[in-house]
């Protein structure tokens, strides 16, 4: 994938729906846009001298990221004031089909944040973070639910991740083939990757006429 950094993206008028965007590397607004659009973060820690990567629910509030999950909380708790961490969010937008194997690529948007993860001890911030994590996938869901109990709050490990450095990588557009390969009859182009939310399925114990809450269509719009 990284070979794309070396090349310019070709100008491809046939790809009306694909933005020709090659921004980066340290554009914070683009990084935040990618972070806000992702479904899952891939969080890296060092544990017993080994790298670990865990998929985690997450949310951004201003310049901080919040993540939540038992195993990472354990690692961070065991390390006092916080641990170095890396949080990566990637969306795959298309497979780039080139004439040569060498020039195959992937269209994607990726944000990689480096920072320090600490356990959130303040219950107010912890609640705000959990609301943000819930609303990240289902906008407005937190306010549709009953409030969190003290017991639930105690049982939920939340980490705050201070962004010390953030970078983006974005590839868009079609294949960039070698001139010598252009005359061949080998097809080239892009196969778009589409991610979307389907029709919501009610749980069996939800009474028949219970309306689907606003957070569900909001999520379907967000991840359309």
- Interaction residues for a copy of itself, span 137-156 (CB under 8 A): 137-138, 141-142, 144-146, 148-149, 152, 155-156
From 19-27, 28-36, 97-105, 118-126, span contacting a copy of itself (CB under 8 A): 97-105
Q: Which residue has the tokens 């993540």?
A: 67
Q: What is the size of the binding site for a copy of itself (CB under 8 A)?
A: 106
From 24-32, 118-126, 208-216, span contacting a copy of itself (CB under 8 A): 208-216
| Interactions with a copy of itself, residue window 32-71 (CB under 8 A) | 39-40, 42-46, 49-57, 68-71
Integer CA distances (angstroms), 92 to 120, 132, 171, 223, in order: 31, 24, 10, 13
> C-beta of 158: minimal distance to a copy of itself in Å?
12
Give the span between the Cα atoms of 149 and 223, in whole angstroms: 30
Radius of gyration of the chain (CA): 21
Give the span between the Cα atoms of 37 and 196, in whole angstroms: 12
Q: Which residue has the tokens 């974005």?
A: 170
> C-beta of 62: minimal distance to a copy of itself in Å?
21
Query: For residue 25, what is the DSSP state?
Result: S
Q: Which of 36, 63, 78, 184 binds a copy of itself (CB under 8 A)?
A: 184
Give the span between the Cα atoms of 37 and 136, in whole angstroms: 9
Q: Under the criterion CB under 8 A, does residue 168 sit at the interface with a copy of itself? A: no
Taking the least distance from each CB to a copy of itself, the nearer of 32 and 45 is: 45
């Amino acid at each position: 994938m990284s070979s794309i950094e070396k090349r310019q993206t070709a100008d491809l008028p046939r790809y009306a729906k694909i933005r020709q965007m090659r921004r980066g590397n340290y554009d914070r607004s683009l990084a935040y846009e990618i972070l806000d659009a992702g479904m899952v973060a891939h969080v890296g820690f060092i544990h017993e001298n080994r790298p670990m990567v865990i998929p985690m629910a997450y949310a951004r509030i201003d310049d901080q990221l919040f993540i939540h999950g038992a195993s990472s909380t354990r690692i961070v708790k065991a390390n006092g004031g916080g641990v170095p961490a890396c949080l990566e969010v990637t969306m795959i937008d298309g497979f780039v089909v080139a004439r040569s194997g060498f020039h195959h690529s992937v269209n994607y948007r990726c944000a990689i944040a480096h920072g320090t993860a600490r356990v959130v001890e303040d219950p107010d911030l912890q609640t705000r973070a959990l609301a943000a994590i819930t609303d990240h996938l289902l906008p407005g869901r937190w306010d549709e639910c009953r409030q969190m109990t003290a017991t639930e709050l105690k049982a939920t490990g939340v980490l705050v991740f201070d962004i010390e450095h953030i970078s983006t990588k974005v590839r868009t557009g079609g294949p960039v083939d070698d001139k010598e390969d252009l005359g061949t009859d080998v097809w080239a182009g892009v196969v778009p990757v589409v991610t979307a939310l389907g029709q919501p399925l009610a749980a069996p114990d939800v009474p028949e006429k219970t309306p689907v809450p606003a957070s569900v269509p909001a999520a379907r719009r967000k991840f359309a």
